[in-house]
């Protein structure tokens, strides 16, 4: 791995940092309090070239590698953790398997902030057991008639979702297909929006499919291969989720460093108390380690090398560490940190959700253990 950045990468990273500081950070807590989705601000992100930078140039994107996309995601997360999720474009990698027609329809609009996709995978009986999908899609002519219910659907206010549904009688991972489910699909009902602890501008919820008629053209890739497509995409997403969390935790750390330098206690700067400065030193160390691991995963992905184990490490450890760091920053601010006058409490709530989303710590450790010990020897 080359730890140096190209001039293009440095330029995009600085552009993202400037946008985060000037456009996102001043409004971060506002969207949480009002549960608003700032559409115009998201479009401005797209106009600036900071959304889904990996989309090829011929489809309206910048055509960057995944490491560069990670730099942008990390920088934006320091300004607004929730909106940084849109910058890596859930669904982009899944649409690599889609028809040219779907790519032409969706990718340019995703790059400009005009459309976004979430994921409709989880069901009441199949959260971590993702291969136990019961939603069924039956082909009838030029449509798939689909029935079922999806819980914990991400980006519920998006324009569509990558849907997994069973298209065969085979059990387990076999027989599951992936579809691009447009929000205007006949038979699709948004049943409930969750009142979550965090992530309020881009909520989760439940969708019901009651004889929903999905065009055959919205089948992504080969029929009955959808489970493998989404697992492959998760390996990429998990590194970006790590960088989102790191960006938020780094911002809290930077704010806390400035606070302890300015704040005086017992006649001297608070930073001179080792009980304050040592936890900050530990936080800086953990963030550096987590960051290196996250970018290693993206580098492995860009170079078509195996990275499932490393991605699982990113997913279980990085959000946990970042939650602990933000918590410590909140405590160092004392009763000010506990109030809504500072953004630490919101970052804590927002980042905490990603200890669950995209696979719990237990599932990630199972992936690592199977690679380390052997699948047949791990329960």
The closest alpha carbon to 130, from 15, 29, 229, belongs to 229
pTM: 0.95
Q: Per DSSP, which regions of 324-363 are E strands?
A: none
Q: Which pLDDT does position 170 carry in this prediction?
A: 80
337, 195, 28, 296: CA torsion to nearest 10: 90
Cα distance between residue 84 and residue 73, in whole Å: 6
Residues 72/17, Cβ–Cβ less than 8 Å: no
The structure tokens 């170079």 sit at: 303
Q: Which pLDDT does position 360 carry in this prediction?
A: 92
| Bridge partners, residue 377, by sequence | none
Q: Which two tokens stand for residue 101?
A: 């027609």
**How far from 344 is each of 24, 148, 189, 279, CA to CA, in Å?**
15, 39, 36, 16
Q: Which pLDDT does position 169 carry in this prediction?
A: 85
CATH architecture of 7-111: Orthogonal Bundle (1.10)
The H-or-E segment that residue 150 falls in is strand 143-153
Q: Which pLDDT does position 3 carry in this prediction?
A: 83
Q: Which pLDDT does position 162 carry in this prediction?
A: 96
Packing angle, helices 308-332 and 344-352, rounded to 10 = 150
Q: Which pLDDT does position 206 carry in this prediction?
A: 97
Domain segments of the chain: what residues? 7-111, 117-224, 228-377
Q: Which two tokens stand for residue 113?
A: 């902030």
Looking from the CA of 255 toward its CB, the CA atoms found within 13 Å total 24
Q: Which pLDDT does position 305 carry in this prediction?
A: 96
Tally DSSP H helices, then E strands, for the chain: 12, 10
Q: Which pLDDT does position 180 carry in this prediction?
A: 97
Give the right CATH number for 228-377 from 1.20.120.430, 1.20.140.10, 3.90.870.10, 3.30.497.10. 1.20.140.10
Cα distance between residue 61 and residue 49, in whole Å: 7
Rg (CA), the chain: 21
Cα distance between residue 231 and residue 33, in whole Å: 34
Cα distance between residue 137 and residue 164, in whole Å: 9
Domains 117-224 and 228-377 share a fold: no
pLDDT tens digits in sequence order for the chain, 379 residues long: 778 999 999 999 999 999 999 999 999 999 999 999 999 999 999 999 999 999 999 999 999 999 999 999 999 999 999 999 999 888 888 899 999 999 999 999 999 999 999 999 999 888 778 889 999 999 999 999 999 999 999 999 999 999 999 999 887 888 999 999 999 999 999 999 999 999 999 999 999 999 999 999 999 999 999 999 999 999 999 999 999 999 999 999 999 999 999 988 888 998 889 999 999 999 999 999 999 999 999 999 999 999 999 999 999 999 999 999 999 999 999 999 999 999 999 999 999 999 998 889 999 999 999 999 998 888 7
Report the b/e string of 278-300 with b at 16+ CB within 10 A. Answer: ebbeebeebbeebbebbbbbbbb
Cβ count within 10 A of residue 60: 17
Q: Which pLDDT does position 126 carry in this prediction?
A: 82
Give the right CATH number for 117-224 from 2.40.30.20, 3.40.50.720, 3.40.50.1390, 2.40.110.10. 2.40.110.10
Q: Which pLDDT does position 89 carry in this prediction?
A: 82
Cβ count within 10 A of residue 156: 20
């Amino acid at each position: 791995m080359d730890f140096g950045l190209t001039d293009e990468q440095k330029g995009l990273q600085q552009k993202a940092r400037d946008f985060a500081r000037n456009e996102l950070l001043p409004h971060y807590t506002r969207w949480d309090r009002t549960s608003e989705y700032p559409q115009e601000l998201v479009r401005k992100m797209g106009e600036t070239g900071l959304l889904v930078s990996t989309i090829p140039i011929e489809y309206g994107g910048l055509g960057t590698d995944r490491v560069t996309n990670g730099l942008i995601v990390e920088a934006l997360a320091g300004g607004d953790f929730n909106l940084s999720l849109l910058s890596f474009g859930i669904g982009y990698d899944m649409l690599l398997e889609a028809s040219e027609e779907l790519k032409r329809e969706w990718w340019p609009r995703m790059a400009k902030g005009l459309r976004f996709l979430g994921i409709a995978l989880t069901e009441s009986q199949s959260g971590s057991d993702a291969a136990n999908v019961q939603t069924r899609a039956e082909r009838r002519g030029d449509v798939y008639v689909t029935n079922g219910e999806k819980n914990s659907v991400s980006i519920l206010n998006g324009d569509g979702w990558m849907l997994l549904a069973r298209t065969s009688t085979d059990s387990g991972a076999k027989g599951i297909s992936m579809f691009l489910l447009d929000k205007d699909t006949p038979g699709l009902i948004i049943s409930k929006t969750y009142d979550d602890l965090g992530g309020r501008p881009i909520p989760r919820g439940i969708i019901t499919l009651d004889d929903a008629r999905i065009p055959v053209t919205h089948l992504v890739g080969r029929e009955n291969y959808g489970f493998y497509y989404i697992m492959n995409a998760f390996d990429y997403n998990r590194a970006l989720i790590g960088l989102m969390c790191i960006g938020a935790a780094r911002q809290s750390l930077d704010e806390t460093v400035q606070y302890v330098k300015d704040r005086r206690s017992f006649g001297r700067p608070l930073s001179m108390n080792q009980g304050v400065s040592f936890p900050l030193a530990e936080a800086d160390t953990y963030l550096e380690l987590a960051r290196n691991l996250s970018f290693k995963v993206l580098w492995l992905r860009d170079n078509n090398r195996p990275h499932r184990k490393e991605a699982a490490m990113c997913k279980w450890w990085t959000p946990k560490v970042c939650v602990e760091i933000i918590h410590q920053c909140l405590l160092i601010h004392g009763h000010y940190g506990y109030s809504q006058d500072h953004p630490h409490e919101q970052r804590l709530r927002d980042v905490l959700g990603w200890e669950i989303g995209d696979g719990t710590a237990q599932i990630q450790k199972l992936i690592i253990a199977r690679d380390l010990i052997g699948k047949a020897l791990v329960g």
